[in-house]
Amino acid sequence: MSFQNPVFIPGPTNMPEAVRQACYMPTIDHRSPTFGKILHPCLDGVRQVLKSKDAKIFIFPSTGTGGWETALSNTLNKGDKVLAARNGMFSHRWIDMCQRHGLDVHIVETPWGEGVPAGKYEEILKADKNHEIKVVLATHNETATGVKSDIAAVRKALDAAGHPAMLFVDGVSSIASMDFRFDEWGVDIAITGSQKGFMLPAGLAIIGFSSKAIAASANATLPRTFFDIKDMQKGYDANAFPYTPPVGLMNGLKLSLDMLLDEGLENVFARHHRIAEGVRKAVSAWGLELCAASPDLYSDTVSAIRTPEGFNATDIVTHAADKYDVAFGVGLGEVAGKVFRIGHLGSLTDVMTLSGLATAEMCMVDLGLDVKLGSGVAAAQEYYRTNPAAGK
Amino acid sequence: MSFQNPVFIPGPTNMPEAVRQACYMPTIDHRSPTFGKILHPCLDGVRQVLKSKDAKIFIFPSTGTGGWETALSNTLNKGDKVLAARNGMFSHRWIDMCQRHGLDVHIVETPWGEGVPAGKYEEILKADKNHEIKVVLATHNETATGVKSDIAAVRKALDAAGHPAMLFVDGVSSIASMDFRFDEWGVDIAITGSQKGFMLPAGLAIIGFSSKAIAASANATLPRTFFDIKDMQKGYDANAFPYTPPVGLMNGLKLSLDMLLDEGLENVFARHHRIAEGVRKAVSAWGLELCAASPDLYSDTVSAIRTPEGFNATDIVTHAADKYDVAFGVGLGEVAGKVFRIGHLGSLTDVMTLSGLATAEMCMVDLGLDVKLGSGVAAAQEYYRTNPAAGK
Amino acid sequence: MSFQNPVFIPGPTNMPEAVRQACYMPTIDHRSPTFGKILHPCLDGVRQVLKSKDAKIFIFPSTGTGGWETALSNTLNKGDKVLAARNGMFSHRWIDMCQRHGLDVHIVETPWGEGVPAGKYEEILKADKNHEIKVVLATHNETATGVKSDIAAVRKALDAAGHPAMLFVDGVSSIASMDFRFDEWGVDIAITGSQKGFMLPAGLAIIGFSSKAIAASANATLPRTFFDIKDMQKGYDANAFPYTPPVGLMNGLKLSLDMLLDEGLENVFARHHRIAEGVRKAVSAWGLELCAASPDLYSDTVSAIRTPEGFNATDIVTHAADKYDVAFGVGLGEVAGKVFRIGHLGSLTDVMTLSGLATAEMCMVDLGLDVKLGSGVAAAQEYYRTNPAAGK
Amino acid sequence: MSFQNPVFIPGPTNMPEAVRQACYMPTIDHRSPTFGKILHPCLDGVRQVLKSKDAKIFIFPSTGTGGWETALSNTLNKGDKVLAARNGMFSHRWIDMCQRHGLDVHIVETPWGEGVPAGKYEEILKADKNHEIKVVLATHNETATGVKSDIAAVRKALDAAGHPAMLFVDGVSSIASMDFRFDEWGVDIAITGSQKGFMLPAGLAIIGFSSKAIAASANATLPRTFFDIKDMQKGYDANAFPYTPPVGLMNGLKLSLDMLLDEGLENVFARHHRIAEGVRKAVSAWGLELCAASPDLYSDTVSAIRTPEGFNATDIVTHAADKYDVAFGVGLGEVAGKVFRIGHLGSLTDVMTLSGLATAEMCMVDLGLDVKLGSGVAAAQEYYRTNPAAGK
């Protein structure tokens, strides 16, 4: 295994040295007060990153998928109605999970490359006179298509319909990288993981619950133990977990939160936007298009790039790994073979990004695409040098 | 946080430097063939540690508790009957999980300090003419009481009754430290975690399924997604997970397995027995008794030590942490305040163990117990020096 | 290589996790201002540890031996007279270095186990009417014998004789562990290394020069380049070294200094004294004696323990390494075979120390010495528990 | 400190993760046989890298400068004649060291950008009928100018003159990156450091002595102790150093040697050549020239790039550090302000190199140079993609 080149997958991201070192701590007693000094700053810091005053934060030794399951199983009952849009691989998987847990999902099929259709949601919610829909799902950032959805608009749809359904948002690839407003958007459950904006290894599901969501948990009968938030809360109240916590990862999260909050959330978001914008300049210079249908949908954490008809976009990813030891993301599901993805989140600089763009160019030329070497790099360079990083 | 002294909790254990370093790897693409080179050796190695020829191994980013849930939710249906003994905190929690998932548990209440009552099991199984009991649970090593149960005897009970129930064994604090025979004992599901005998941080649920358990999963309707073994197996077949895997932890597991198998499993078990025996000599020299009711029940990974009537055993643990920066385990549940626990598993030497024993002595004297300084240490020293470690 | 047990050699010491991590930093440009932010805090911090207001501090990528050579070659000329006592291996080696560099050493042969004979020094200095002696050498802590000398007394001898000779002090195994007063004792050059009280790997010679010593360097003609303090000072003035600096080690030193100064020097010294005192209680309980001739000479960083006539003390060291994977120090030079040494400096706790004492006991009993298992441990336990660490 | 971007200084280089981890080992007893298992493979491996059968290898806790001093002080006497060319900062410094140690240096002033003038050397050696010249110095790779000299030609000059002088070669920035033939070229002393081709932190002087050089040490009277090879050899014979060795760094060297020898020296050299060639393509595309006067002099480890008249090349280095957090090397001595340097040795890939070239382009454009963004990158990309790395 060579670890020399940065990775350009949309998570896990490159990790800051200090964060890796924080994760790599020796064993401590996880039932001692020492653990509380790691746990509580994590809970507080995540709450700040979510821009929430009093969301209850839960951290499970799991992944974003476990976060989805935590959300559903703690708040719903078999047969409950859920409204969801399918516009990418990750929204698709969450819907699939709902169905496996016996929920009745009203699926709004949405073209891959478009965002959550707030207008359609509003219609459906208005039509649901009996308020049978218990939860509305929204994927803030579809990692598969590089599409950012407008969660504020979804909230407006709920409000316009005067509908009491809860709003659950998958922020796995947005939270801690792109603006997320738990309180302002009236989010009831937000879900993320450790391996994206928090720049940690995978292994933590990180979840925020509104008081409404907490209240719903009192009557929820879907079976759960590992993901039970009541057990977890009882644990936290005693500086503990209901089982052995992933102490090192949480120690890393504590540091990552310190770093993000010291930098300032708006600066973190601006940093991601700047890096992303350079990538988009390159894509444009290559004469290619993003999967995301319009600029307002462009994600600042991942770009899914459409390749010409008849070309297998996955070849770029395989070739980059084989010949250059560089990792990009393949297209998934409906866009498999049609797009390749450049992840540009977490611990990444303009300079590192340029090496990813240069590699993509070499791959495309190697594979016969009509792209000029240096062209995308030059476009990104021009953007980066004239829009320097904060403080530079 | 001082990391100078070893920990003496029954997991997470002290970690070998090399294993920690292996966990601490930079980010790789978890969808690349590189990950397969970590994944498959882990699955193969765990199978060997279980002494199984063809158990299907599953590793989830979770903990032993998640392993329990994996076992139940992949094989059972609501209302299914389960036979279980409650003889400590961990068997208690597994039973509680069964009940929360709507299973009907026949509980055999068993004194804390005794093992799984194979005789009682046999009676009950014989009486279950219609074979309504689908699963028999057994906790191989009760971490709360330091009691090792006889799993071969449980198998014999099933066989004597001619009962087709599956046998699920919690081996969280035994597997990779004490002898475990998946095939010979006819185990259907075995569950462990990363943070005990594997000497890793917490974060992995490690589970083996027999073909019978796999077959049962076809008809199991308890809801599950995160812990679904079919999704997981499909992932493995493509060198992947159904979600982001905990790459670094698995890289550590790969090394840990290499180390254990290179040492030889019987040597690993002998090493644990030797360390444990020294601890027991010390306990005896202190004039104290183990919670475990008889020598055949003594665990080689953790000793729960009864303190005199009227003394709060938890004070020893608090005092050791406060005054000496040493971590022991408290008593849990029914034995809270009655025992304190010394964990002696994983990466531990005789020399390290002596420092734990010396600390326990200082604490007991500080707290007014009638124990002679150096007495337990001397007993353990005599045992260790006359029974040297393998190759010494 | 097993790294499980602590080491009990008189340096390199056990290292704090955080210090090791600080050393283990990625490459930076050592000609950038970033390096200055490591360098200058190191120089300032060392000066504080020396208890000096304005000593010039020099750090070379070398060891204490290089520090000795820095002292001599930057201040002296061929044929210059030097006064030195030989009372152990390290004073012997420094004398040997003087001779190799063409200096004329007046050697005061002193029994190994005694300290620098300040009275003899005074006589000799008084007799040196022409002030031909340019430098007086003193080894503050003889690592070979565990003897601490009285440097204040040496200063008094110089003053009583009204002699202008410079005072060079080897503080390799005392500085940062035992009280050292550069200004108050009128030290002209103090020498130490990274691998003792600073708890770092070997690799740094750390040296303080008084203004008198700096002045002497103007006329010193002994050849030197690597160890030239003028080149080094010129480098420092530009945030650099005259050659590539050991950046990681210095980053570790910066953290180590922060830790020592945050703890408070007097607390650091008290901590070392406490640990040492426990070791001495154990030695006494074993019925053995220290090499150091009297209590005022006892070193708080290393104890050299005499074994009975006819017994080869080195066997203890070999046996401990072979059978128990524990490192003690052998006797050197005149006391080879007569003593074994327990290092008790740097990152060490009472609990760790007890494991060293327990190991020494097992070795002595294994090798037939008349020592009772647990006896020394009990004596140290009693001392440690009744004299708790600061804040405990 | 951000460690995200690679460094492009001509050493210390970027470090492989595994090598850093090897350096970062806990304390062991450096007087134990364990240390011998690190030491001897280091000595053997260095000998192989030097392409020598029986050179005596010495490793000091020091730097290349200490290596120079080791060479001189162990083999020469005050007043001895030395022949040397001054063609860059590092040859200049070695000459300066000779003079400080009282040697009589015949300096051949050579334009910076040219190599060691073997023809001139031959003339001078022929003229030295009495063989007063004891040593001929040659800098294999002038790090300041990016000039590789022809050491075989220097050997031929000595042979053609029938001159018995010893040949000392500074291979600090060539050895382990570029072909070096100790035996074939009749080198008597070769000097390097840990922080270049060996990809380690600074802190080791690594030196090879021929039997002739060893013989010379018997009569050499320049004072030395720290750098004395006799003491060092005596130490090695007992698996030790004459003082505390830098154990971790040597453990890293052991791994680095394994990696280099496993890869194969010719492959290592080819790898460096390929990376360097891409850099040179970029320089050419920028319309700039190297400091090295002709292609046969081009160094495969560092390129010194001349900037246009009137432009301060150092600004590029400062600007890159300030705005992009990327480290290049400044011009030194005679070429200060006239060149900037890109180091391309050690742990580096084509992809990483492209990010350095992209950064240099942005800096040059930012600072007003007439360079086209992407131009150098494109030239290097074309070279790298059509000349793939070995096995790709």
- C111-131 pLDDT per residue, tens: 999 999 999 999 999 999 999
Chain B contact for C312 (CB, 8 A cutoff): no
Show which subunits contact D, needing at least 3 CB pairs below 8 angstroms: A, B, C
Calculate Rg over the CA atoms of chain A: 21
- Which pLDDT belongs to residue D2? 67
Asked whether the bond before A12 is cis by omega within 30 degrees of 0, the reply is yes
Four-point Cα dihedral A11, A16, A19, A24, nearest 10? 90
- Whether residue A21 and residue C21 make contact (CB cut-off 8 A), yes or no, is yes
Chain B contact for D21 (CB, 8 A cutoff): yes
The shares of helix, strand and coil residues in chain C, as percent rounded to the nearest 5, are 40, 15, 40
Quick check: helix, strand or coil at residue A87?
A: coil
Chain A contact for C21 (CB, 8 A cutoff): yes
Maximum pairwise Cα distance, chain C:
61
Do the Cβ atoms of B180 and B49 come closer than 8 Å?
Answer: yes
Predicted confidence band of residue A2 (pLDDT cuts 50, 70, 90)? low
Q: CA-CA distance, D142 to D113, in Å (whole number)?
A: 9
User: Nearest 5°: phi and psi at A341?
Assistant: -120, 140
CA nearest neighbour of D192 among D346, D9, D335, D87: D346
**How open is the CA angle B104-B106-B111, to the nearest 5 degrees?**
140
Asked whether the bond before D12 is cis by omega within 30 degrees of 0, the reply is yes
Q: CA-CA distance, B279 to A241, in Å (whole number)?
A: 29
- Pick D358's closest partner by Cβ from A323, A358, A366: A358
Question: Could you say which DSSP state residue C24 is in?
Answer: S
Do the Cβ atoms of B262 and B141 come closer than 8 Å?
Answer: no
Do the Cβ atoms of A172 and A65 come closer than 8 Å?
Answer: no
CA nearest neighbour of A300 among A145, A384, A195, A177: A177
- Which pLDDT belongs to residue D170? 98
- Pick C385's closest partner by Cβ from B352, B366, B377: B366
Residue C140 Cα distances to A191, C169, C180, C204, C333, angstroms: 61, 6, 9, 19, 18
Q: Which two tokens stand for residue A140?
A: 């803030």
- Pick A61's closest partner by Cβ from B11, B203, B223: B203
The shares of helix, strand and coil residues in chain B, as percent rounded to the nearest 5, are 45, 15, 40
Share of chain B above pLDDT 70, in %: 99
Chain B residues with CB under 8 Å of A244 CB are: 11-12, 63-64, 193, 195, 202
Q: Which two tokens stand for residue D115?
A: 């190599």
DSSP characters for D97-164? HHHHTT-EEEEEE--BTB---HHHHHHHHHH-TT--EEEEEEESEETTTTEE--HHHHHHHHHHTT--
- Whether residue C375 and residue B374 make contact (CB cut-off 8 A), yes or no, is yes
Q: Which two tokens stand for residue A246?
A: 């992933």
- Whether residue D377 and residue A372 make contact (CB cut-off 8 A), yes or no, is no
Compare all CA atoms of chain B with the CA of C376 and give the residue at the minimum distance.
B374
* A133-179 tens-digit pLDDT: 999 999 999 999 999 999 999 999 999 999 999 999 999 999 999 99
- Which pLDDT belongs to residue C308? 97
Question: Could you say which DSSP state residue C178 is in?
Answer: B
* C350-367 tens-digit pLDDT: 999 999 999 999 999 999
Helix H or strand E segment including A282: helix A265-285
Q: Which two tokens stand for residue C365?
A: 């009993």
- Pick D352's closest partner by Cβ from A14, A16, A355: A355
Helix H or strand E segment including C122: helix C118-127
CA nearest neighbour of D14 among A3, A46, B237, C354: A3
Q: Which two tokens stand for residue B65?
A: 């508790």
Q: How far is D392 from chain A (nearest CA, A)?
A: 5
Chain D contact for A346 (CB, 8 A cutoff): no
- Which pLDDT belongs to residue D3? 85
Chain D contact for A263 (CB, 8 A cutoff): no
* C187-192 CB contacts, 8 Å cutoff, 24+ apart: C187/C50, C187/C151, C187/C155, C188/C135, C188/C212, C188/C213, C189/C71, C189/C75, C189/C213, C190/C50, C190/C55, C191/C64, C191/C67, C191/C68, C191/C70, C191/C71, C192/C64, C192/C67
| Average pLDDT, integer, range C223-249 | 97
Q: How far is B290 from chain D (nearest CA, A)?
A: 36
Phi-psi category of residue A281: left, alpha or beta, with phi > 0 → left and psi -120 to 50 → alpha: alpha
Q: CA-CA distance, A169 to A187, in Å (whole number)?
A: 7
ipTM of the shown complex: 0.97
Strand partners, B30: none
Q: From first to last of the 392 residues of chain D, give the pLDDT tens digit.
A: 568 999 999 999 999 999 999 999 999 999 999 999 999 999 999 999 999 999 999 999 999 999 999 999 999 999 999 999 999 999 999 999 999 999 999 999 999 999 999 999 999 999 999 999 999 999 999 999 999 999 999 999 999 999 999 999 999 999 999 999 999 999 999 999 999 999 999 999 999 999 999 999 999 999 999 999 999 999 999 999 999 999 999 999 999 999 999 999 999 999 999 999 999 999 999 999 999 999 999 999 999 999 999 999 999 999 999 999 999 999 999 999 999 999 999 999 999 999 999 999 999 999 999 999 999 999 999 999 999 999 89
What single letter denotes the amino acid at residue D19? Answer: V
* B101-117 tens-digit pLDDT: 999 999 999 999 999 99
- Pick C226's closest partner by Cβ from D13, D62, D222: D62
Chain B residues with CB under 8 Å of A66 CB are: 61-62, 226
Chain C residues with CB under 8 Å of B384 CB are: 362
Compare all CA atoms of chain A with the CA of C23 and give the residue at the minimum distance.
A21
Compare all CA atoms of chain B with the CA of A60 and give the residue at the minimum distance.
B62
Q: How far is C145 from chain B (nearest CA, A)?
A: 26
Do the Cβ atoms of C108 and C83 come closer than 8 Å?
Answer: yes
Q: CA-CA distance, A293 to A247, in Å (whole number)?
A: 42
Q: CA-CA distance, D180 to D200, in Å (whole number)?
A: 19
Do the Cβ atoms of A381 and A374 come closer than 8 Å?
Answer: no
Q: CA-CA distance, D69 to D230, in Å (whole number)?
A: 15
Chain A residues with CB under 8 Å of C248 CB are: none
* A155 annotated to bind ligand: no
Q: CA-CA distance, D141 to D302, in Å (whole number)?
A: 9
CA nearest neighbour of A168 among A147, A185, A144, A148: A185
- Which pLDDT belongs to residue A249? 98
Do the Cβ atoms of B130 and B165 come closer than 8 Å?
Answer: no
> Euclidean distance between the first and final Cα of chain B, in Å?
35
* C27-68 tens-digit pLDDT: 999 999 999 999 999 999 999 999 999 999 999 999 999 999
Q: How far is A166 from chain D (nearest CA, A)?
A: 41
Q: How far is B126 from chain A (nearest CA, A)?
A: 31
DSSP characters for D278-294? HHHHHHHHTT-EESSSS
Angle between helices D314-324 and D350-366 (to 10 degrees): 110
- Which pLDDT belongs to residue D111? 98
- Whether residue A373 and residue D375 make contact (CB cut-off 8 A), yes or no, is no
- Pick D351's closest partner by Cβ from A5, A365, A373: A5
Contacts with C162 (C-beta within 8 Å, 6 or more apart), sequence order: none
Chain A residues with CB under 8 Å of D381 CB are: 358, 361-362, 365, 373-374
* B258-284 tens-digit pLDDT: 999 999 999 999 999 999 999 999 999
Do the Cβ atoms of A242 and A341 come closer than 8 Å?
Answer: no
Where do the domains of chain A lie, and which CATH numbers do they carry?
17-262 (3.40.640.10), 264-386 (3.90.1150.10)
CA nearest neighbour of D7 among A15, C243, C29: C29
Burial of A237 (0-12, 13-18, 19+ CB in 10 A): exposed
Contacts with D145 (C-beta within 8 Å, 6 or more apart), sequence order: D87, D88, D112, D113, D291, D292, D304, D335, D339
Q: How far is C346 from chain B (nearest CA, A)?
A: 11
* C274-324 tens-digit pLDDT: 999 999 999 999 999 999 999 999 999 999 999 999 999 999 999 999 999
- Whether residue B29 and residue A61 make contact (CB cut-off 8 A), yes or no, is no
